[in-house]
Structure 1
Amino acid sequence: MTTASSGPGKLSRRALLRTAGTVGVLASAGAVGRGLFTPAIAGPAPKVRLAWTEVAACHSPLGFGVAKGIYSRHNLDVELFYQGASGQTLIQALATGKADAGAGLIGDWLKPLEQGFDVKLFVGSHGGCQRLLASKASGVTDLAGVKGKTIATYGIGAPPQVAFQVTLAKAGIDPETDVTWKAVPFDLVGESVNRGEADLAAHLDPWAYSIEKQFGFVKLADTQTGVYEGHTCCVLGANGPFLEANRDALRRLAEANIEVHEYTAAHPEEVAQWYFDTLKPAGLSLDDLKAVIGGLVAHNHPIGQPLVDQIQKSAEDLKLVKVLDPTTDPKEFAERVTVNLLA
């Protein structure tokens, strides 16, 4: 049985996976160089092409994990595939076989999965990377004040709009009739609000953090607190044929994903430094990246039944705001679109 090689005690691989989705059992587990696992796996490392969005701060643990050899210690040859900044390009990368697995927002995954897209979700990464921000000029200081206002986001139907439609609906505001949604270019969401063309901004980190800081916007909600307390934000999925042929490799990918996010939770400054040095994100300082990466709920990476429960909760939310079909059964749907790598 594979055991943890550092930390306060020894954990079997299965014991780690059973606990990692709910508590940060390994957050203080020592340096990357020592590792959390010593997989006793014979044979060559299978290759996994993992789609990511390199400009997204919340994806930085994936690149960090490759650079620091975390995946290779799980006997995996992980090649990162830049799939662009859109959830639709992630779907296309998997559908066309350009990638075997990928990391994406739940808000991007669920509608294509409802429509029959051949992908299974298998492990969460973290919670929280979207913000709803109000300009000071708008006078909005709480969710009740959003009624009658205009919200800028980078696309109608994009994850920030969908996420905060749920927030508003649960606050008693009709997200279709009580507010106006305005699509603006991705890089101009903050500028448009600052110029008074909209009252609020709904955006993704690190850009949301950046415009909140730059313009002194007021954060009304995010996807870590309030109705999203305890929710998973980003999830890894694998296309069906790859899963069928490489289930054990995906289980090890899930283990590595948990390990790298636990490490990130304990050492956000180190991951931020790697991100800053390697990717040189425009307009973001090292301190910005430390704040964004350190602010993620990096312990929230469910697998097995906890992941099914998370997807069911998200499906219920998306039905509430009419993204998923009214006939969709959230429980049956969650069980159908996930795979339990602990089984």
Structure 2
Amino acid sequence: MRKKTAGLILAGLFAAALFIGGCGGNKQSSANADREARVVHVGYYGGTCEAPIYVAHEQGVFKKNGLTVELVKLTAATTKEGIATGKVDAVMMSPGGFKAMEQGLNIKLTAGIHTGCIQAVVPVDSPVRSIADLKGRTVGVDAIGGPPMIYLGMEMIRLGIDPKTEVNWQAYPGPQLSLAMAKKEIDAFSTWDPFPQIAVNEGKARAFFSNTHSAPYADQLCCYVGINGRVVSNEPDIAKALTRSFAEATKWVGEHPAEAAQISIDKKYTGGDVALNSALLAQYRWIADPLQARASYTYFLNGMKQLQVLDAATEVDALVGHTFVVLEE
């Protein structure tokens, strides 16, 4: 009788264990199903350096990590609106978005992506040989206060030039900067790849600065994984899956720049041509490491504060602590 009772008890415990285990599995399956059913909106601008987004979407990296992703074409203005309204869940962030983050834009940086992607050029016969020669000249950029202006401004301050009073800045759409320089409306221009390199390849310009090769900027990451703060707080599994997807795609682009360029052109995400974009992607260093990303983020915030782009009262370490999140798997 005792043996029979013991057997029944053990059978009951075994059945309960199966039931509990089954419940856990069902919950996990349900969570995965919910995550896949949720459409995640990833924004992009159409830049050469956004190749990890294109690759993650076209090569199934997002899907492999349990995400159903829709890509959304953005501008600087629609990015802010999209993050604020929850219509954009993730985007590649550059120093151009750091001022908005200081002002409260609810986006968190979670990892790095790459170095490089901005160049400054002058006409081939220009006397300008370095940033020091820009004093008293007119420089074209794609946006006042944007990353190309920030990079040049940081270097000007290092050289003792006041970028606010000793240089004249003019903003043009990126594709129009080369024409503005040819018409002598500006003496030089700085913007995102591929536009400066196109001007160089066409024999219209000569590069004198790039954050791909010029020290100390070549060692700093310029683009980062940015995730809507609501997602980080309320949907941490999605935030982790996005960060993981970016990291995997970033590594893949670094190892397969030609294939990444082909995807970018074939799917009409960006301009230029395959050979040009492949050469540019091969020059960048693709680094997802969150600790290195955090250090570069801090570096640029300090530079932007020195440029007076950030408020004088802003405490950089506090801002970093609030806006950079390392997501533990």
Q: TM-score range by the shorter chain?
A: 0.7 to 0.9
Q: Which amino acid aligns with 1:158?
A: G
Tell me: CA distance 1:215–1:203, structure 2 relative to 1, closer, same or farther (3 Å). Answer: farther
Query: For residues 141 and 256 of structure 2, what CA distance do their matches in structure 1 show?
Result: 31
Identify the match of residue 142 of structure 1 among 125, 130, 141.
Answer: 130
* Pairwise CA RMSD: 1.9
Segments of 4+ in structure 1 off by > 6 A? none
The alignment status of 1:180 with 2:168, answered yes or no, reads yes
Would the aligned equivalents of 2:113 and 2:225 in 1 still touch at CA under 8 Å? yes
* Map 1:67-86 → 2, pairs under 5 A: 67-83=58-74, 86=75
Given the alignment, which residue of 126, 150, 154 partners 2:142? 154
Query: 1:285 corresponds to which residue?
Result: 273
Assess if the C-alpha contact under 8 Å between 2:112 and 2:292 holds in 1.
Answer: no
Cα pair distance change 1:302/1:88, threshold 3 Å: farther
Check if 1:52 corresponds to 2:44.
Answer: yes
Shift of 1:280: 7.0
Q: Which has the higher helix share?
A: 2
Instruction: Work out whether residues 153 and 203 of structure 1, in 8 Å CA contact, stay in contact via their aligned partners in 2.
Output: yes
* 1:172-209 deviations in Å (ceiling 9; x for gaps): 22212222112234321011112222111111111222
Q: Which residue of 1 aligns with 2:89?
A: 100
TM-score (norm 2): 0.84
SS of the residue 1:138 aligns to: coil
Distance 1:228 1:153 in 2: 18
Counterpart among 231, 238, 241 of residue 230 in structure 2: 241
TM-score (norm 1): 0.81
Q: Does 1:226 align with 2:215?
A: yes
Higher radius of gyration, 1 or 2: 2
Residue equivalent to 1:313: 299
Equivalent residue of 1:136, what SS?
A: coil
For 1:170, the equivalent position in structure 2 comes to: 158
2:316 to 319, 327, 330: 330
Aligned match of 2:177: 189
Gapped regions of structure 1 (runs ≥ 5): 1-40
Maintained 8 Å contact 1:129/1:223: yes
Secondary structure in structure 2 of the residue aligned to 1:176: coil
Report % sequence identity: 24
Letter in 2 for 1:177: T
Question: Which deviates the most, 286-295 or 268-277?
Answer: 286-295
What is the letter of the counterpart of residue 235 of structure 2?
N
- Whether 1:263 and 2:255 are equivalent positions in the alignment is no
Instruction: Determine if contact 2:51/2:253 at 8 Å carries over to the other structure.
Output: no
Contact 1:166 1:321 in 2 (8 A): yes
* Unpaired stretches in structure 2, ≥5 consecutive residues: 1-27
User: What per-residue deviation string (whole Å, max 9, x for no partner) do you get for residues 265-293 of structure 1?
Assistant: 111011111112111755x2221111122
Deviation at 1:212, TM superposition (A): 2.4
Distance 1:306 1:142, change over 3 A: closer
Structure 1 distance, partners of 2:270, 2:209, is 25
Q: Structure 1: how far apart are the matches of 2:49 and 2:105?
A: 24
Give the CA deviation at 1:95: 1.1
- The Cα of 1:256 is off from its aligned counterpart by 1.5
Which AA in structure 1 matches 2:288? H
Residue number among 36, 47, 52 corresponding to 1:61 in the alignment: 52
8 Å contact kept, 1:309–1:334: no
Structure 1 distance, partners of 2:294, 2:158, is: 22
